Structure 1
C-alpha cells in the first residue's frame, strides 16, 4: 500500500528523487518504489508511518461523501511538492497518542480517518490548482521557473516582491496568485523553506554560531531564524544541534 511518513526528528537526504529530510517534514512513498537514503547519525531518527490501501480509502470516501474521484496515487507521486501543516499536526498527534501507550484502537482509527479526510480535501483543491495551472500560458510558466531559480541563488538577500515582479514581468498580485497555484505555497514560504534548509545543514556540518548562520542565510536578527526554525522543526537551532 501507499505509505505516509512524518519525520519527528532526524536529518539526512533521500534519493529517487533527491530531497532533504529534516524534522517535521512529510514524505510519501508508492508501493514497491526504489528507496535509498543517508541519515545523519548524530540526529536521532524518529518517524511515524501510516500505510494506506487504496480499497480501504475508496470505501471510506464512499461512506462519507460518495466521492470516488480522488486518486491517491497522484498524491503519492508528488513527493516533496506539497506542504500540508494540517496533516503534519494530525500525524504528530497520532505519534504522541501511540507514544503515551494510552491510545485506544478507536482513537487511532479516528486519527487515521482524519488524515484521509485532510488528504482528500487537499487532492480536490489541488485538482483545481492543476486545472488553473494548465490554463497558465507557457511564457508565465517560464517566468515562474526563472523566479524559483533566482530565489534559490539569492535567498540570503532581501528579496522584495517588487524585484520579483520586475523579473517576472507581471503585476505582484498576478505573480503571487500564479506562484501559489503552481507551487502550492506562497513566495515567502518558498524563501523561508530554502533558508531553513540551508541553516539546518550548517548546524550539522559547521561550528558556526547561530548568529553567524542567521546572517549567512539572510536573517539579520538571530531571533528571527530561531522563531522560524522552531516553527518548521519543532525545536530551536541550539536544541537541534545537541
Structure 2
C-alpha cells in the first residue's frame, strides 16, 4: 500500500511518535507526549510534493520508521545532533554524521532508525519530482542538466557552506512560523540552483572541500587544544605566552591559533577578553574599586581599554553596569 509522505509529509511519523497536532499560522507543530520533554516537529507544506521540517526531539527508546514511498523524489536532511541511521536493501547501514544527507524515494522501501542515545535535531526536505517539474516547467534551466540525474550527486555537491546556511535559514523560518509559504518555495529553488552550480562546476565544490580539509582539526589536536585552554584558565589575568602555549600544543603559532578557533568557535584573544571581562564584572560589585583600579587588576594599562572591551563583550560600560544594578 505504501506510505504517504508525498501528500502528508511527516504526519505518519508524528502519529508513530504519539504527537498532538497544533496549527501555527501556516506551519504545523507536532508535539511529542510530555514525558519526552520539549520535543516537537515543525513542518511547512507550501505545495504538492514539498514539505520542509525542523525536528527537535528527545526519544525514550529507539524509533524505527519504515518508508515505502511510491513517488520519485528525495529526502534531504541536515543533521546537527543525534543518532540517525538509514537502512536500505542491499546497502550498508548509513549512520548520519552532522551535515546534509540524501535518500532517494520511489524505488524501494527503506527504514530510518532514530536512536535514543542523544537528542535528535535536524532540518529536512521532502522534495518530489512532481514539485520540480511543475515549478521549473517555465524556468530557463540549462538543457544539459536533468534533475533525474540526482543519482550522481556527490556528498560534497550538496554540503557546501551556502547550502548548509540555507538549511539554517529554513530552520529559523519554521520556528518563527510566520513567513509566507512562498518563502519556502523560493528557498528550494535557490537550493536546486546551488546544486546545479556544484554539479556543473566541479572546481567550485572541490575548492570548498579543500578549504574544509585545511581547517579540519584532528582528535589529537583537539585534545591539545583542551590542554591549551586549561593552561589559559590557570591564570586568565596573566596567561602564558604564545611561546609557552606552542610548547604545550606541539605545533606552530599559526596552526595553534587556527585549531583553537576551530575547536572552540572563537580566537584565543577573544576567549581571554571574555574571561577578563567576566572578572571585571565581578570586581565592579566591589564599591571600593574604581574603574582605573579594575583595569589594572585585569591587565589593562588604562581605564579606556577596559571600558572599550567591557562594552564590546557585555554591551554596556562599567559605569552603566553599576547604575543598572544599583552598585
| TM-score, normalization by structure 2 | 0.40
Identify which range, 104-113 or 9-18, moves more after superposition.
Answer: 9-18
Cα 1:58/1:182, change in 2 over 3 Å: same
Q: Distance in 1 between matches of 2:85 and 2:209?
A: 24
Query: Structure 2 regions of 5+ residues with no counterpart?
Result: 1-72, 230-247, 266-327
1:9 counterpart = 2:54: no
More helix by share: 1
Of structures 1 and 2, the one with the larger relative CO (CA 8 A, separation 6+) is: 1
Contact 1:2 1:76 in 2 (8 A): no
1:67 counterpart = 2:142: yes
Secondary structure in structure 2 of the residue aligned to 1:122? helix
1:2-41 pair list within 5 angstroms: 2-10=74-82, 16=91, 21-23=96-98, 25-31=99-105, 32=108, 34=110, 41=117
1:45 counterpart = 2:120: yes
Q: Which structure has the larger Rg?
A: 2
Q: Aligned match of 2:174 in 98, 104, 107?
A: 98
Q: Distance in 1 between matches of 2:81 and 2:134?
A: 33
RMSD between aligned residues? 4.2
Contact 2:79 2:100 in 1 (8 A): yes
Q: Distance in 1 between matches of 2:142 and 2:204?
A: 23
Which residue matches 1:189?
A: 212
- What's the CA shift string for 1:6-57, capped at 9, x where partnerless? 113335776745766444x111111146456685723x21111112222432
1:1-242 pair list within 5 angstroms: 1-10=73-82, 16=91, 21-23=96-98, 25-31=99-105, 32=108, 34=110, 41-42=117-118, 44-82=119-157, 83-125=159-201, 129=202, 183=206, 185-193=208-216, 195=217, 198=219, 210-212=225-227, 224-229=258-263
- What's the CA shift string for 1:56-79, capped at 9, x where partnerless? 324433422143532345445445
Cα 1:182/1:225, change in 2 over 3 Å: closer
Post-superposition shift, 1:89?
A: 0.9
Q: Distance in 2 between matches of 1:11 and 1:226?
A: 27
Corresponding residue pairs, total: 168
Post-superposition shift, 1:115?
A: 1.5
